[in-house]
Structure 1
Amino acid sequence: MQNFNSHYWNERYSKNETGWDLGVISTPLKSYIDQIENKSLRILILGAGNSYEAEYLWCLGFKNISIIDLASKPLVEFRNRLPEFPFEQTILGNFFDLNEAYDLILEQTFFCALSPSQRTLYVTKCSELLNVKGKLAGVLFNFELTEIGPPFGGSESEYQRLFSSYFDLKTLEVCYNSEPSRKNKELFFIFEKK
């Protein structure tokens, strides 16, 4: 099985093999962020990459944002774009090694980049990292699970099975505002920690 480590992801960025990167915040996440009123929330962005989500949040006045990625290249580019973002809130490392507590975890193309064998670990780790009633929200891909990836697909029924032991599934629906290339291939979700 392919080892999706820091070298793998840095190579993808170096070769500009970043089909997941829209160059801007995705519309579903922007719409979700726009309705968040509490700017003091502790927010984590997984597999942040170029992290347009963090940049958008920062510009709206959210300051308790942490981003994490295995690849150094996009994190350096992010810091160059947004030098005022606190260095200590930019984490080069493995999500599974985190031991902090957050109110909100944002998901955008990180889950689909993990080997499917890590999905249960992802669910339990997100639950561990969230405060009581904390939320995991964002977008999951809605197409048949593939053996070759990333990205690896998934379905609404699979996500219900995976997440329901640890989360109340508040929202899980086809995105109405996906980018054209992702139309009908994304599910928007809000899961609240039990």
Structure 2
Amino acid sequence: MTKLNSAYWQNRYETQSTGWDVGSITAPLKTYLDQIEDKSIRILIPGGGNSYEFEYLITHGFTNVNVLDFAQQPLLNIQNRLPEVNPKQLIHADFFEHKATYDLIIEQTFYCALDPSLRDQYVQHMHGLLAKGGKLIGLLFQFPLTESGPPFGGSKEEYILRFSPYFNIKTLETAYNSIPPRQGNELFFIFIKK
């Protein structure tokens, strides 16, 4: 199996082998984010890549947003698109070593990109990064778990089993407004830290 380290992801961005990158914020996330009134909440987008979600939030008045990625290139891409952004908001680090506290964490193709052996650690670390009552929201793929990836699949049953010890599952349902190639294969979710 390919070692999914920083060099692997850097190479994917340098060679533009980024089939998951749709070039803009996706409708399920935009719809959710448009409902947030407090634009000062602490937000993290881990494994954010080119993070059009970050760009959307910044250009819509959110003041406390950070994107984290293992690879440097996507963070440079964001900096080039948004030169006014404080570089401290673009965190080049290993997610599992990141320490901070957030009110909202946005999941967008990060969970499915991790080696499946790291999924329990992912859930626990997400829980640890959220403030009391904080929310983990976003999209998770629903297609069978495969040996080849990323992306690696998952199911509603697996997510309930993994996340429910740490989160109250408020929403976990097939996204009605996915982009056509992902129609029926994405679950929109809102999990609230226990």
Q: What displacement does 1:122 show?
A: 0.3
Secondary structure at the residue paired with 1:38? Answer: coil
Asked if residue 155 in structure 1 is aligned to residue 146 in structure 2, the reply is no
Number of residue-to-residue matches in the alignment: 194
Using the TM superposition, give the Cα deviation of residue 183 of structure 1 relative to its aligned residue in structure 2, in angstroms. 0.2
Unmatched 5+ residue regions in structure 1? none
Residue 2 of structure 1 and its aligned partner are, at CA, apart by 2.1
Which blocks of at least 5 consecutive residues in structure 2 are unaligned? none
Given the alignment of the two structures, is residue 182 of structure 1 paired with residue 178 of structure 2, yes or no?
no
Which residue identity is paired with 2:145? Answer: L
**1 CA distance for matches of 2:17 and 2:170?**
34
- Bigger mean CA offset, 96-105 vs 11-20: 11-20
CA distance in 2, matches of 1:4, 1:192: 29
Kindly state the Cα deviation for residue 115 of structure 1 after the two structures are TM-superposed: 0.5
Secondary structure at 2:121's aligned position in 1? helix
Q: Report deviation, 1:84.
A: 1.1
Q: Which residue of 1 aligns with 2:99?
A: 99
Supply the distance in 2 between the matched residues of 1:122 and 1:2 (Cα, whole angstroms). Answer: 19
**Which amino acid in the other structure matches residue 80 of structure 1?**
N
Matches within 5 A, 1:17-166: 17-166=17-166
Return structure 1 stretches of 4+ with deviation > 3 angstroms.
Answer: none
CA distance in 1, matches of 2:49, 2:188: 20
Distance 2:50 2:18 in 1: 10
Percent identity among equivalent residues? Answer: 57
Aligned-pair Cα RMSD in Å: 0.6
